[in-house]
Amino acid sequence: MASSSAVNSAIERLANLQLNELSTSSSPNLQKNLSILSPHQIEVGKMLLELGQVHLFEDWPDPGTDDDLKKALLDQVAVLNSSYPGGLASYIKTAKELLADSKAGRNPFDGFTPSVPSGEVLTFGDDSFIQYEETGVKEVQNAAFVLVAGGLGERLGYNGIKVALPMETTTGTCFLEHYIESILSLSEASCKHAEGEVRRDVPLVIMTSDDTHERTLQLLESNNYFGMKPTQVKLLKQEKVACLADNDARLALDPDNKYRIQTKPHGHGDVHALLYSSGLLNEWKDAGLRWVFFFQDTNGLLFKAFPAALGVSASKEYHVNSLAVPRKAKEAIGGITKLTHTDGREMVINVEYNQLDPLLRATGHPDGDVNCETGYSPYPGNINQLILELGPYIDELSKTGGSIKEFINPKYKDSTKTEFKSSTRLECMMQDYPKTLPPSARVGFTVTETWLAYAPVKNNAEDAAKVPKGNPYHSATSGEMAIYRANSMILKEAGVKVDDPVTQVFNGQEVDVWARIVWKPKWAVTFADVKSKVRGDNSVSQKSTLVVKGRNIFIEDLSLDGALIVDSVDDAEVTVGGSVCNNGWTLESIDKDSTALPEEVRIRGFKMNKVEQLEQFYGEPGKFSLKS
Ligand code: UTP
């Protein structure tokens, strides 16, 4: 056997030879460290030199100092290279092009004319909505669910992962729990329609990142996957991408560690490449699935609009269906827009609000983005929930590998645009998927009322309090209030008399406080479910809390002025009625900086004071009546 020193010197000779082939003088520091590196690490070093990254070795000391750190840098680069489609060469090439465009101020929409795409505008509760919901529920058995949950949530600044946050504090249900319970209940409802067919466990994929992966897994495991089979849930972890220090796309070193490339998230657009490379899409196709639903980490309302939107996808045979909400002209939310290029290209895509208005002005609409006769902009507001048809999705990804058109957003030091304030990186967005589709692709949208579909939790209390009046706060406070409002509005539409809300201020945000009405998805996942479980003459006062947890609970001639919590096993049928009056649960304002309370509570600016309630659990099968 050859001695290790003989092997090392052979590798060194080989590596020297390779480096010599490239350029002997380009990095003396790398060259003198070859003896400590593996052949693979040397290859990586060589690649970096080829890509113009010689600066990475500038401060490398002689062998014997920081050797492990030097190796770790090259190993990190190897991971960055293999986790990006096309490798670092492709990353740097695209970065150089986009940085040059950005420096030159080139507009990515040059040559495109915007127009209003076609889509479906729904009104909650009318016949067409109910019909679409019914169609959608039937299709749920053919759907896969994809939650993108790799985001840092810097704006929210919460210390935990966002999906673990309580969606509302009446029951304390967290986002992930609600999502999973909604998927399970929808799937069950779907099975009832598909009698005779084999019941399928609909799959859920969660895209995580280093920032969220471990804690997401732990949340699932410590809660028994919230009722899903562990095999139903797959976590796909996205990798971060390298940061760039300048217009030549030189990789940025971590300011605190000269042996580490600084990295940042690449954006939720990664989900397409990850799904493609996971092989799951073909598995789903072979299993007969037809739809993939993409959704985000903190929107407690999304499953209220999803069934009808899936119904629209199925009825209109949309390859891409973007869920959307009415949008006031110039409102700070992207607009779904059809873009037609002078060269014939065409796409239906999200255009950010700050690009839409100038684009319209530049293409023959002197007033830019203005409201039409509906009182809203004709360009619906994108809420970034997408339903894709699986077959065409796979066809497209087999061409692109799932890579999504990227963008770059450098913050320059001054108008010469030669230096950045801090490093930048390429980013990509899930909703940019349609950019590469052929004009024959059927791309549409489904608009539902905002109160029904969209209340994300993205902003911390301080920033939310600064939001100009009339604009959404998108905070934990407003996200929770939106759930009570939506449930109140749905019950009203089902014939329940629900008192008007009162206005209160929490954490500097003025919000409408409706009765705290919450139900589990197994009680109702569609409006038709709600209507079938509410009978007679019911009323709920503003100060009330109503929590319905059991599957077969019927609300009949109930007059509620206080707190009522009803739960039951699935085999129990419970009729709840009569007059329930007690001191109920009150919302007490709290100081967001009071360290005595948990962060989940502080970020809302209020806590629940559970003063008095009527709470009933029916644990045996049979028929019961709760009438006081
Ligand atoms: P957000 O716009 O809320 O971004 O992402 P964020 O990164 O979570 O939060 P900020 O911008 O730092 O405040 C929308 C959705 O996309 C996911 C988020 O988890 C959220 O569900 N996301 C975002 C990813 O999965 N990966 C990313 O790289 C970025």
Residues 596-613 have pLDDT tens digits of 899 999 999 999 999 999
CA-nearest residue for atom 18, ligand 1, is 151
| Alpha-carbon distances of 527 from 329, 486, 602, rounded to whole Å | 30, 12, 33
The share of the chain scoring above pLDDT 90, in percent, equals 89
- What is the spatial distance between Cα 565 and Cα 558, in angstroms, rounded to a whole number? 13
Whether residues 155 and 276 fall in one domain: yes
Residue 348 lies inside a defined structural domain of this protein = yes
Where in 108-266 does DSSP place strands (E)?
A: 112-115, 120-121, 143-148, 204-209, 233-238, 241-242, 244-246, 253-254, 257-261, 263-264
Residue 92 lies inside a defined structural domain of this protein = no
Whether residues 486 and 581 fall in one domain: yes
Q: How confident is the model at residue 24 (pLDDT cuts 50, 70, 90)?
A: very low
Handedness of CA 313, 319, 324, 328 (dihedral sign): negative
Average confidence (pLDDT) over 166-180? 98
Q: Is pLDDT above 60 for 12?
A: no
Whether residues 152 and 258 fall in one domain: yes
The share of the chain scoring above pLDDT 70, in percent, equals 95
CA of 458 to the centre of ligand 1 (A): 9
Q: Is pLDDT above 90 for 627?
A: no
Tell me what the pLDDT averaged over the chain comes to: 94
Q: How confident is the model at residue 331 (pLDDT cuts 50, 70, 90)?
A: confident
**Ligand 1 nearest atom to the CA of residue 153, by list position:** 9
Q: Is pLDDT above 60 for 8?
A: no
- What is the spatial distance between Cα 431 and Cα 322, in angstroms, rounded to a whole number? 8
Task: Render pLDDT for 537-591 as a digit per residue (tens, 0 to 9).
Answer: 999 999 999 999 999 999 999 999 999 999 999 999 999 999 999 999 999 999 8
Residue 154 in contact with ligand 1 by CB distance below 6 A: yes
Whether residues 397 and 442 fall in one domain: yes
The residue out of 48, 82, 116 marking a domain boundary is 82
Domain count, the chain: 3
The closest alpha carbon to 137, from 318, 304, 322, belongs to 304
Whether residues 155 and 244 fall in one domain: yes
Residue 406 in contact with ligand 1 by CB distance below 6 A: no
CA of 364 to the centre of ligand 1 (A): 35
Q: Is pLDDT above 90 for 594?
A: no
CA-nearest residue for atom 14, ligand 1, is 296
Q: Is pLDDT above 60 for 468?
A: yes
The residue out of 82, 106, 123 marking a domain boundary is 82
Residue 300 in contact with ligand 1 by CB distance below 6 A: no
Whether residues 427 and 295 fall in one domain: yes
- The H or E element spanning position 318 is none
Q: How confident is the model at residue 226 (pLDDT cuts 50, 70, 90)?
A: very high
The CATH number of residue 501's host domain is: 2.160.10.30
Residue 149 in contact with ligand 1 by CB distance below 6 A: yes
Which residue among 296, 385, 404, 457 is best mutated to probe the pocket of ligand 1, counting the most ligand atoms within 8 A of its Cβ? 296
CA of 148 to the centre of ligand 1 (A): 8
User: What DSSP character marks residue 200?
Assistant: -
**Ligand 1 nearest atom to the CA of residue 265, by list position:** 28
CA-nearest residue for atom 17, ligand 1, is 151
Range of the domain at 9: 4-82
pTM over 0.85: yes
The CATH number of residue 383's host domain is: 3.90.550.10
CA of 410 to the centre of ligand 1 (A): 19
CA of 429 to the centre of ligand 1 (A): 10
Residue 434, number of CB atoms within 10 A of its CB: 20
**Ligand 1 nearest atom to the CA of residue 430, by list position:** 16
pLDDT number for residue 592: 83
Residue 296 in contact with ligand 1 by CB distance below 6 A: yes
CA of 173 to the centre of ligand 1 (A): 21
Which residue among 152, 211, 433 is best mutated to probe the pocket of ligand 1, counting the most ligand atoms within 8 A of its Cβ? 152
Whether residues 194 and 146 fall in one domain: yes
- More confident call, 165 vs 470: 165
Residue 148 in contact with ligand 1 by CB distance below 6 A: yes
Residue 229 lies inside a defined structural domain of this protein = yes
Strands 426-428 and 406-408, sheet pairing: antiparallel
Whether residues 43 and 126 fall in one domain: no
The residue out of 82, 106, 139 marking a domain boundary is 82
- What is the spatial distance between Cα 585 and Cα 595, in angstroms, rounded to a whole number? 23
Average confidence (pLDDT) over 289-315? 98
Whether residues 365 and 256 fall in one domain: yes
User: What DSSP character marks residue 551?
Assistant: T
CA of 297 to the centre of ligand 1 (A): 8
Residue 458 in contact with ligand 1 by CB distance below 6 A: yes
Q: How confident is the model at residue 2 (pLDDT cuts 50, 70, 90)?
A: very low
Residue 89 lies inside a defined structural domain of this protein = no
Is the distance from CB of 568 to CB of 617 less than 8 angstroms? yes
- What is the spatial distance between Cα 150 and Cα 209, in angstroms, rounded to a whole number? 5
Whether residues 535 and 578 fall in one domain: yes
Task: Render pLDDT for 80-130 as a digit per residue (tens, 0 to 9).
Answer: 999 898 899 999 999 999 999 999 988 888 899 999 999 999 999 999 999
Residue 522 in contact with ligand 1 by CB distance below 6 A: no
pLDDT number for residue 14: 52
pLDDT number for residue 197: 62
Residue 402 in contact with ligand 1 by CB distance below 6 A: no
Average confidence (pLDDT) over 409-419? 94
Residue 294 lies inside a defined structural domain of this protein = yes
| Alpha-carbon distances of 533 from 298, 491, 536, 550, 573, rounded to whole Å | 28, 10, 10, 11, 11
Tracing tokens 């002689």 back to the chain, one arrives at 62
Task: Render pLDDT for 471-521 as a digit per residue (tens, 0 to 9).
Answer: 899 999 999 999 999 999 999 999 999 999 999 999 999 999 999 999 999
- More confident call, 16 vs 534: 534
Q: Is pLDDT above 80 for 22?
A: no
**Ligand 1 nearest atom to the CA of residue 266, by list position:** 28
- More confident call, 2 vs 482: 482
Residue 344 lies inside a defined structural domain of this protein = yes
Whether residues 147 and 130 fall in one domain: yes
Residue 91 lies inside a defined structural domain of this protein = no
**Ligand 1 nearest atom to the CA of residue 267, by list position:** 28
Task: Render pLDDT for 259-276 as a digit per residue (tens, 0 to 9).
Answer: 999 999 999 999 999 999
**Ligand 1 nearest atom to the CA of residue 456, by list position:** 3
Residue 507 lies inside a defined structural domain of this protein = yes
Residue 615, number of CB atoms within 10 A of its CB: 11
pLDDT number for residue 1: 38
Whether residues 68 and 124 fall in one domain: no
Q: Is 444 left (phi over 0), alpha (psi -120 to 50) or beta?
A: beta
Dihedral, CA of residue 104, residue 353, residue 603 and residue 298, to nearest 10: -100
User: What DSSP character marks residue 593?
Assistant: T
- More confident call, 563 vs 196: 563
Q: How confident is the model at residue 18 (pLDDT cuts 50, 70, 90)?
A: low
